[in-house]
Structure 1
Amino acid sequence: MLITIDVGNSRIKVAVFEQNTLIELFVFETNDAEKKFKKILKKYPNATHSTISSVGKINFEVFDYLKTNTNLQIVSHETKFPFTNLYNTPKTLGIDRMVVAAGAVLQYPSQNRLIIDAGTCITYDFVDKKDQYLGGAISPGVKIRYNSLHEYTAKLPLLEKKNIENFIGDSTENAIHSGIINGICYEIDGFISQYLLKNQDLTIILTGGDADFLAKRLKSTIFANSNFLLESLNLLSIYLHEND
């Protein structure tokens, strides 16, 4: 069994895999990490291997605990990925973006792929059918947009995302919801349209914490999978084992 670990900007997501089957999913805050991992390993004593990718912070005690109790694999820029990285600044490319690009290559071979990760930021990553990573885009995520409107204005309230029924906001709160949610959906659909102009056989994967919330609002045909990064870590671990 394998434990895959995604350390994000705001929380940690963990999945337990048996081959390609996701057995159980866990989500928790960073400060609870060591306690949570002890519970996971107690529940799954056969989970002898783990693999981790991190864009956030995790303390050394947690790393030491995972190294001591599992065969820990840390995904880094030096990891062997199943694509050619043509990014002009490869060392600045986020590990999370590299992992989902790897997952797209391994799960959807010989296709053009656009991976959209709707988390703290919304990232767009394109890997062509020749398995060449070409780059993408980064924009503010849902929560950042709500926070920004509140923090950079004098009177706009701080709101949480919610489902919207009307395009025209009939109050300040509804206008904020409409502007943010519709704006993000138009952005994503616009990016997809631009990629489709040159790549008719495009496979589109939407993932991240806001994937399910946004998926039903998009016009484009997509594969929505909020756990795609964790699944990609599993696929990458198998790939590295087979190509060691």
Structure 2
Amino acid sequence: MEKKQILAVDLGNSYVKIGCFINNELTEVKRVSWTDVLENDPLKKEIEKQEGIFSSVLSEGQNEAFKKRFPLLKQFDSGMILPVSLNYATPETLGKDRLCNAVGGWNQAEKKTNVLVVDVGTCIKLDVVTHDGIYQGGSISPGIRLRYQSLNDYTANLPLISETTQVELIGKSTKESMHSGVINGMQAEINGLIARYEQKYESLTIFVTGGDAKYFDLETKNNIFANKNLTLEGLYQIYVFNVQ
């Protein structure tokens, strides 16, 4: 008998990330352009016939158009029930990506310990779920490109430069100094916040995700785990929780 495949789809501004799940296992991840989703006939037909869920940062009109095009995919919205409870003052403003990360980390944590998710992408987002399954909130700060962009936007003479993995502590040129300030500064920020969370919460399991996590040395302790697909896995768990 053919195994049923469920899709978890993350709609971003620039690209679409598609996770394929079979028997609760993530078997394939595709990162494709919007052009591929809308114009690539084999891919369109593959998505059309699959059930699943999608999360989006797009406008309401764009989401409605996507749902009309792929009616078997449910939209992750405020009407869905979450596997975790929320202790958050403004749940209506809470990003769906943060919720997916929290659920993904909580689901993977052994013995349901306290969980911290560090997502290093456009922004640095830290989110906590306590051992009793309650999402507590976290923090948001600018990511790599926002910091480089700000240095260029709000000064007269600093150039706009791109991120690099080759960073010294002491910059010997203006560009090297900018790299040191941005990359080493973010490393210190993340390490410092992790240390404070570890002081506040015992038995803390930490998950690191996000496309820019590769620029930082974060997996140095036994309780830190990298998972680049944590958002998709959390989105899938939310789908399962709502269709059971």
Superposition TM-score, scaled by structure 2 size: 0.88
In 2, distance between residues paired with 1:49 and 1:156?
Answer: 49
What are the within-5 Å matches in structure 2 for residues 190-205 of structure 1? 190-205=192-207
- CA offsets 1:73-94 (integer angstroms, 9 cap, x no match): 1111221001110101111111
Would the alpha carbon gap of residues 224 and 235 (structure 1) be closer, same or farther in structure 2, given more than 3 Å must change? same
- What residue identity is the alignment partner of 2:39? K
In 1, distance between residues paired with 2:90 and 2:198?
Answer: 25
2:112 partner SS: coil
Q: Which residue of 2 aligns with 1:186?
A: 188
In 2, distance between residues paired with 1:112 and 1:217?
Answer: 18
What are the within-5 Å matches in structure 2 for residues 81-230 of structure 1? 81-108=82-109, 109-214=111-216, 216=217, 219-220=220-221, 221-230=223-232
1:40 aligns with 2:25: no
Which runs of 5 or more residues in structure 1 are unaligned?
none
- CA offsets 1:197-238 (integer angstroms, 9 cap, x no match): 121310111111112332x35655521111110111122222
- What residue identity is the alignment partner of 1:15? G
Would the alpha carbon gap of residues 217 and 168 (structure 1) be closer, same or farther in structure 2, given more than 3 Å must change? farther
1:24 aligns with 2:28: yes
Q: Retained in 1: the 8 A contact 2:37–2:44?
A: no
- CA offsets 1:12-70 (integer angstroms, 9 cap, x no match): 2112222233232222344553225x43354578x521211112348243331111xxx
Would the alpha carbon gap of residues 140 and 116 (structure 1) be closer, same or farther in structure 2, given more than 3 Å must change? same
Q: Retained in 1: the 8 A contact 2:149–2:160?
A: yes
Would the alpha carbon gap of residues 219 and 179 (structure 1) be closer, same or farther in structure 2, given more than 3 Å must change? farther
Q: Which residue of 1 aligns with 2:18?
A: 14
What are the within-5 Å matches in structure 2 for residues 57-96 of structure 1? 57=59, 59=62, 60-67=64-71, 71-96=72-97
In 1, distance between residues paired with 2:103 and 2:211?
Answer: 19
In 1, distance between residues paired with 2:134 and 2:128?
Answer: 8
Superposition TM-score, scaled by structure 1 size: 0.88
In 2, distance between residues paired with 1:29 and 1:150?
Answer: 29
Q: Retained in 1: the 8 A contact 2:121–2:212?
A: yes
Q: Percent identity?
A: 36
State the 1:137 CA deviation: 0.5
Select between 118-127 and 23-32 the one with higher mean Cα deviation. 23-32
State the 1:240 CA deviation: 2.1
Residue-pair matches, total = 236
Would the alpha carbon gap of residues 180 and 10 (structure 1) be closer, same or farther in structure 2, given more than 3 Å must change? farther
State the 1:116 CA deviation: 1.2
Q: Retained in 1: the 8 A contact 2:219–2:226?
A: no
Q: Retained in 2: the 8 A contact 1:33–1:62?
A: no
Which runs of 5 or more residues in structure 2 are unaligned?
none
In 2, distance between residues paired with 1:237 and 1:229?
Answer: 13
State the 1:114 CA deviation: 0.6
- What residue identity is the alignment partner of 1:20? N
In 2, distance between residues paired with 1:155 and 1:175?
Answer: 13
Q: Which residue of 2 aligns with 1:2?
A: 6
- What residue identity is the alignment partner of 2:83? P
